[in-house]
Amino acid sequence: MTKSASSLMYTCILTMTMLLAACDRNEPGKSTATSRSQPEQPLAGDAAPAGSQAESKAEPKPQPEAQQKYPPATVDMTLQQVSPHVYYVQGAAGTATENQGFISNAGVILTSDGVVVFDTLGTPSLGQMLLEKIRAITDMPIRKVVMSHYHADHIYGLQVFKDLGAEIIAPKGSYEYLDSPLAMERLEERRFSLDPWVNDQTRLVKPDVIVDGESRFSLGGIDFLINVLGKAHSDGDMTLYVENDRVLLSGDIIFEGRVPYLGDSDTKQWLETLKRIETKELVALIPGHGPAASNPNEALQATRKYLAFMRNAMGQAVEDFVSFDEAYKNTDWSEFEKLPAFEAANRRNAYQVFLSIEQEYLSGKH
């Protein structure tokens, strides 16, 4: 090969390498989320004085629809409107792997500058179906996703919206779940129990913004209030209040029409949290599970009553040194046994509360 031919070949290879590198940098769908090693991003309004509001000025970026094909979910899903700007989809009552994983709720708030989503359901396929429902009523970009908490039945749809460029906002405590062995163990279990809707392509999506306390933001003329409630149902829980419409999206702090799933919750803190939520001026309340409550006070009281009853019954057993099996058998559950998910969740809930109250006594916190 002549010297000039070698030079020409080297130039061609170098040019192709540079072009491929440029394509990689501009490949659609590449994550742009800030890593944990970088400083946390403040939520719009975080630095403002209490009670003030901050309007988001960023222009929405073009968002190509998700190109990844997800195994189609075949459940019934209806986007229901509860106020001028707020919609939600309601999952069926049942355990986490029933109804193709569609057992939780998700909220959708429309503004003139884009869409805010609250929670993203329990599989990417359900997240994609939710996106299709949104696209049936608006072609505005998905600007923000506000997560009530990080539990599997609410978060596996996140990747659909993250791939569209939406900003993910989550409460302090979310990383306690994400960084725990349980997060990956749960994902592996759901890849089996919810196959094919949760599979090897399903991933855990980390938040872009962590919120601690009360924060406000505005988008398209709609004002939002985020309230972080601390460790109640999970390692970190928060609510979203749509001020213009007076609608509260409560996540799993309040359940409507079914037995709550207590999981790893701190029920003592949960009860205290419910007492702090003011609902008298609400038009509607959208819980994490079950139908929207037209009378928010009743929904709050139903959840509070169940938690209080459970803690009283199991607490008395612990105090009297009664075994769990005997305590459960001797407790009158008739007030709750006709509620959906009672058979699936109640005994497990009682055992979790029994063990946690034992720990409270041992640590001197009861």
Domains, the chain:
67-294 (3.60.15.10)
Beta strands 222-230; 214-219: pairing state:
antiparallel
- Give strand ranges (E) for the chain: 80-81, 86-89, 106-111, 114-118, 142-146, 167-171, 209-211, 214-219, 222-230, 237-242, 247-251, 284-287
Q: What pLDDT does residue 296 have?
A: 82
Q: Which residue has the tokens 């359901």?
A: 121
pTM: 0.68
- Give the integer Cα–Cα distance in Å for 63 and 21: 22
Angle of helix 296-319 relative to helix 342-363, nearest 10 degrees, comes to 60
- Give the integer Cα–Cα distance in Å for 88 and 79: 5
Beta strands 222-230; 86-89: pairing state:
unpaired
Q: What pLDDT does residue 50 have?
A: 32
Q: What pLDDT does residue 302 have?
A: 86
Q: What pLDDT does residue 279 have?
A: 62
- Averages of pLDDT over runs of 10 residues in the chain (366 residues) are 45 42 39 36 38 37 60 96 97 90 96 98 96 97 95 93 96 89 95 96 95 91 86 77 92 79 77 71 86 81 91 96 97 94 92 93 81
- Give the integer Cα–Cα distance in Å for 210 and 352: 28
The two three-digit tokens of residue 65, written as one number: 């629809």
DSSP label at 166?
P
The two three-digit tokens of residue 208, written as one number: 């872009």
Paired with 238 in beta bridges are 228
For Cα atoms 40, 41, 43, give the angle at the middle one, nearest 5 degrees.
Answer: 130
Output phi, psi for 130, to 5 deg. -60, -45
Q: Which residues contact 332 (CB under 8 A, 6 or more apart)?
A: none
Count Cα atoms within 13 angstroms, Cβ side, for 31: 14
Q: Which residues contact 109 (CB under 8 A, 6 or more apart)?
A: 85, 86, 87, 115, 116, 117, 118, 222, 224, 242
Q: What pLDDT does residue 230 have?
A: 67
- Give the integer Cα–Cα distance in Å for 230 and 219: 25
